[in-house]
Structure 1
Amino acid sequence: MNVRYVGAVRRVGIAALLATCLVFSVTACGDGEGAKAKEDSSKESSAPAASTGAPASDGKTLPDTSKVLATLKGERDIEMIIHEARRDDGGFVTVSGQLKNTGSSLYTTPVQWSGQETEVARTGRSMAAMTLVDSKEKKRHYVLRDTDNRPLTTSGYKPSIAAGESLAFFAQFPAPPQATTSVDLQFPGFPNAPIEIS
């Protein structure tokens, strides 16, 4: 009886040991896969977000800042540098550049930059007051709006620009006819600037 009992206990012990090993190995494999999945997920989330603007056919997503179409002197040491006015396939022109505070004190951005339209002004700070004038066609083009009447331009920026700092901007307009290659850019506080459309 004792021998039979000991044999049964041994068999139960071995089965329990095998079951424990099996559970441990399955858990270890599962944790490896889970860890890998978590690692892959964290890599995806830490990857830089895709640009909101579609890249151009040559892969460029940013304007060429080495190119300057115009430099406009505004009030109190603020300077507007236009880098690009690009005609896009979607039937619009994107103007991009930067506003630079060349002075030694803080520059407060004027409310006039947002334009005078009440509906647009409700969306917050923007550059909706920027316009393009096509002298050839005798037309003024305003910044495009989305379906919620938000202007398709830089918006939500800080109310001031520190000394020596810049504010990059863009603004999208309806494209003038293909024959029009030059327009005048107008923006409150700055002189008119003729710019070439690329």
Structure 2
Amino acid sequence: MNLRDGKTRLILIAAALGIALVVAVASCGGGEDDGGEQKEDGQSQETANTGEEQPEGETSDNQGGEETEGGEESSAIGQVTTPEGISITFTRAEREDGGFLTIEGSITNNGSERLFDVGWAGPEKELAENGFSMAGATLTARTEGKRYLILRDTTGRCLCTGFAGSIKPGETVSWFAQFPAPDPATDEVDFQIGTIPAVTLEIQ
């Protein structure tokens, strides 16, 4: 073999190796690009899914709040408000074992002055020491033609709420009062205390 033939073969081998190297590099580069595109597509899909789930959670919370408010509004069985802004709410009028009737509710002072009325203790001397309390409350059963007075113990303390001090403007306090139970056939009574207008309550 002469020198010219040897050089020609070397050139052909070098060219073949160069072409193979270019093909290999191009193949590796294409694989990396595909992987990057797949990753970006996956991230986009996850972001879209997250955006769809969040509004569903917010709707559930709002519905729960509406149900709670509805339950609170339906708890009152009666209410009376004076021109001075004193609001008495009734939430329970129920017969109890032992032959007595329990009335419960709350008082809110929406006026501008403190509420302190010893006249709520009623005109009975036995109840006078109860002071500002629900001691003077009465129930009238019109179908029976009877008036029921507050229950009290042997010392003259009423089975009712006594208010320590006064009820301040903007303050709400809970109260209860117990009376002898009316006849079983009686399903309504009129509640009254002091100069507050009477309120008709349905016995539960």
TM-score, structure 1 length as denominator?
A: 0.63
- Determine the structure 2 residue equivalent to 1:70: 78
SS at match of 1:108: coil
Partner of 2:89: 81
1:125 to 113, 128, 132: 132
Instruction: Write out per-residue CA displacement over residues 150-191 of structure 1, whole angstroms, 9 at most, x where no aligned residue.
Output: 111101x23321222112110000000111011111111311
Matching of residue 174 in structure 1 with residue 180 in structure 2: yes
Local SS of the residue matching 2:119: helix
Structure 2: state its 5+ residue gaps: 1-71
Unaligned runs of 5+ in 1: 1-63
The DSSP-based 3-state class of the residue aligned with 1:176 is coil
Q: Secondary structure at the match of 1:171?
A: strand
Work out the CA distance in 2 between the residues paired with 1:154 and 1:130: 11
Write the mapping of 1:72-111 to structure 2, written as runs, cut at 5 A: 72-103=80-111, 105-111=112-118
1:55-93 deviation line (CA, Å, top 9, x unaligned): xxxxxxxxx885111110124111000111011011000
CA shift in 2, pair 1:113/1:138, >3 Å: same
CA distance in 2, matches of 1:100, 1:84: 17
2 CA distance for matches of 1:123 and 1:182?
27
What percentage of aligned pairs have identical amino acids? 41
Q: Hey, what's the Cα distance between the residues in 1 that align with 2:73 and 2:100?
A: 21
Aligned residue pairs, count? 133
Runs of 4+ in structure 1 off by over 3 angstroms are none
CA RMSD of aligned residues (A): 1.7
Secondary structure (helix, strand or coil) at the match of 2:102 reads: strand
Match of 2:119 among 112, 115, 125: 112
CA distance in 2, matches of 1:159, 1:74: 20
